[in-house]
């Protein structure tokens, strides 16, 4: 479900789970393992990419709806552990947002150091509210850290999916590139960062990202249970199952 490409000290970890790189339990665990292992394997930076036109379609709702409460709680534990791994990685991570990136796809990018989005007719954002899920507080904290309180409120409460240009204006992404140049642009950012005096760069980066540890330590312990309760609520189950039925009808 992942492909790895060595770019000379920059490891590209590519989501490769057709058709939309949806995040199921196995992919979440595999991605966390890959990110954790990268520094020990010699990577000095990571690019997290998708496939042309699709970064990630977010959570694999049809598969997750088959889980019982224990299974769903384990998924949330693994998912938030992945986000923590991204946020606290000892090496820089650039998200190469190669296309559409709703919900969980956008969430992965938020916890990276830098975000390059493909410019085109793509949509990205945190549309969780529109599919019956509140945005978890850990993710809201990271979103607010990135775009500021007012933009976070606008994007998250309304569940907006915005164009790459709108995402850039809101601060949700840092850079736009032509679709075929998205990954090269992310690699270039990594190389520019790695060209800095390493001790100074890593010390400054670590100091500025230390608040992520506080964020997860403060909000993480209760998040798994909260999200499990919400997932199995009548409102969320109704909206999620209607969404799955709608997607299934489109395929017919």
Domains of the chain, by residue range, sit at 2-194
What integer pLDDT is reported at residue 11 of this predicted model? 98
Q: Which residues contact 183 (CB under 8 A, 6 or more apart)?
A: 12, 47, 49, 96, 98
What are the distances in angstroms from CA 164 to CA 37, 51, 54, 106, 242?
A: 31, 16, 13, 12, 28
What is the rounded CA–CA span in Å between residue 179 and residue 101? 13
> To which residue do tokens 């989005």 refer?
117
According to DSSP, residue 47 is labeled E
User: Model-level pTM?
Assistant: 0.96
What is the rounded CA–CA span in Å between residue 215 and residue 84? 9
Contact 29, 83 (CB under 8 A): no
Contact 74, 25 (CB under 8 A): yes
**Of the CATH numbers 3.40.50.1220, 2.30.30.110, 2.40.50.140, 3.90.226.10, which one belongs to the domain with range 2-194?**
3.90.226.10
For 168-216, the pLDDT digits (tens) are 999 999 999 999 999 999 999 999 999 999 999 999 999 999 999 999 9
For 126-167, the pLDDT digits (tens) are 999 999 999 999 999 999 999 999 999 999 999 999 999 999
What is the rounded CA–CA span in Å between residue 141 and residue 85? 16
């Amino acid at each position: 479900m992942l492909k790895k490409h060595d770019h000379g000290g920059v490891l590209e970890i590519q989501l490769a789970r057709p058709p939309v790189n949806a995040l199921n339990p196995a992919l979440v665990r595999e991605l966390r393992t890959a990110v954790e292992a990268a520094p020990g394997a010699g990577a000095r930076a990571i690019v997290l990419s998708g496939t042309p036109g699709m970064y990630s379609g977010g959570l694999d709702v049809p598969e997750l709806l088959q889980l019982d409460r224990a299974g769903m709680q384990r998924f949330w534990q693994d998912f938030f552990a992945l986000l923590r791994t991204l946020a606290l990685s000892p090496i820089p991570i650039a998200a190469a947002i190669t296309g559409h990136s709703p919900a969980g796809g956008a969430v992965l990018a938020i916890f990276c150091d830098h975000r390059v989005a493909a410019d085109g007719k793509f949509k990205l954002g945190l549309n969780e509210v529109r599919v019956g899920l509140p945005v978890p507080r850990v993710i809201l904290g990271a979103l607010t850290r990135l775009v500021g309180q007012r933009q976070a409120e606008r994007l998250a409460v309304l569940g907006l999916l915005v164009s790459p240009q709108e995402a850039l204006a809101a601060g949700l992404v840092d850079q736009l590139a032509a679709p075929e140049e998205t990954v090269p642009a992310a690699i270039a950012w990594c190389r520019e960062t790695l060209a800095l005096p390493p001790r100074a760069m890593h010390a400054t980066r670590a100091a500025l990202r230390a608040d992520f540890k506080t964020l997860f330590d403060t909000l993480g312990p209760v998040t798994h249970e909260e999200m499990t309760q919400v997932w199995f609520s009548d409102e969320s189950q109704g909206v999620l199952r209607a969404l799955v039925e709608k997607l299934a009808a489109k395929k017919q």
